[in-house]
Amino acid sequence: MTSTPKTVSIPKNGVDYRGKIVLAPMVRSGECPSRLLALKYGADLVWGPETIDKALIGTTRRENATTNTVDFTRISSDGAKNPALNPEQRESVIYRLHPEKEGRQLIYQIGTSNPETAVQAAKLIAPDVAGIDVNAGCPKPFSTSGGMGAALLKTPDKLCSILESLVKEVGEPNKIGISVKIRILDTAEETEVLVRRLVATGITGLTVHCRTTPMRPRERAIRDQLKMVANICREAGVACLMNGDVASREDALALVAEYGCDGAMIATAAETNPSVFRLQAEGGKAPWEEVVEEYVKTSIAVENRWGNTKFLLGQMIPGKHPAFNSMTHTKSYTQLVKALKYDDELLKMAMAVDKALEIGEYEKPKLTKAERKAANKAVTKPAATPQDRPMQEEVRKTAAGMKRKAETAELDMPPDIARQAGPASVPESASALAV
């Protein structure tokens, strides 16, 4: 008789990663419309972009009746020195999900270096997702400089503590699984020691990106440690996904069979064309024109941030096609729909979203540098009359209460907020790949 492979128990509200081909977590490329499109074309699960725990802590959960999404928002830190300059200050959407279309297929990836803050943030979003995944593989400075991402590979005690805390304090109460995404280490022996520790923390899934921390996406994935990692996970009953140079569903299935993994992630290929999740027998990879139109419609439907939409279109539209040049010159959804010559119905929707997002012709005039300086000076100088003092003091208190260190303020602001100009403005440090 052959023994039945060990399998960890999948929580009631969680999901089993076995047999799944999924969308990898990608900064900027894993926002709500990208995930919905991946699911439309056959992705079994979708990972959201790494979101730092401190960015989520302090947000307000709102059910958006217009977009049918759940939004986690906070007041933007922009203008914190003098809130009186912007009395109608808008809330920034830190994380947006669509409960009906992705809720039970969405894995929230958390960036963290601390068990306490990890738990605090994860508790906020756990009821709305199918799992929490810890990012222990991002090599970018914005992650590693804070001891997060790939830096956790050098502090395995801390990483295990984070996972154990999430399992006990978030996974078990919410009946969802906790997982982790890592990179391979320099030697198979080092990787083996780490993986054996990780699978003993109570996690239900482990993804291994087949690159070392210094490696970049352009460097070919190294798979010589993959079978070993898959075997350790199988012994512990933990699902093992692989990531790195996976181009399509057929490609993923072939790699899974070859290396004995339970599933695979698709990253860069899905960023360019999410229809790569569809089997050839079911239509295969769709023409970019079809995918781009679906993406624009979806982005408008969920009122996606304009800068993020424009960035993704820069990945989807071939650079030499006339449509690429037309797209890069647009500054709103209305201009985009006109440039790509879509129908009047979508144009009406685009105009409504532009108004809601205050972009394009609906963008509010900004204060000049001189006007802002004068307004700030007015707050700091002595009140002209006794009657003015209470109001001025209140503004000072508010400004002081909102003042934060630069690194904290950055957490409040999604990466593309300050980069509305489009693809050409994205620096190398803001690479789409999170892990």
Residues belonging to the active site:
138
362-367: long-range pairs with CB below 8 Å, 24+: 362/332, 367/85
Q: 3-state SS of the chain?
A: CCCCCCCCCCCCCCCCCCCEEEECCECCCCCHHHHHHHHHCCCCEEECCCEEHHHHCCCEEEEECCCCEEEEEEECCCCCCCHHHCCCCCEEEEEEECHHHHHHHEEEEEECCCHHHHHHHHHHHHHHCCEEEEEECCCCHHHHCCCCHHHHHHCHHHHHHHHHHHHHHHHHHHCCEEEEEEECCCCHHHHHHHHHHHCCCCCCEEEEECCCCCCCCCCCCCCCCHHHHHHHHHHHCCEEEEECCCCCHHHHHHHHHHHCCCEEEECHHHHHCHHHHCCHHHCCCCCHHHHHHHHHHHHHHCCCCHHHHHHHHHHHCCCCCHHHHHHHCCCCHHHHHHHCCCCHHHHHHHHHHHHHHCCHHHCCCCCCHHHHHHHHHHHHCCCCCCCHHHHHHHHHHHHHHHCCCHHHHHHHCCCCCCCCCCHHHCCHHHCCECC
Q: Please, how many CA atoms are within 13 Å of residue 102, restricted to the half-sphere of its CB?
A: 31
CA dihedral 402, 403, 408, 410 (to 10 degrees): 90
Decide: 324 and 336 in contact? Cβ < 8 Å.
Answer: no
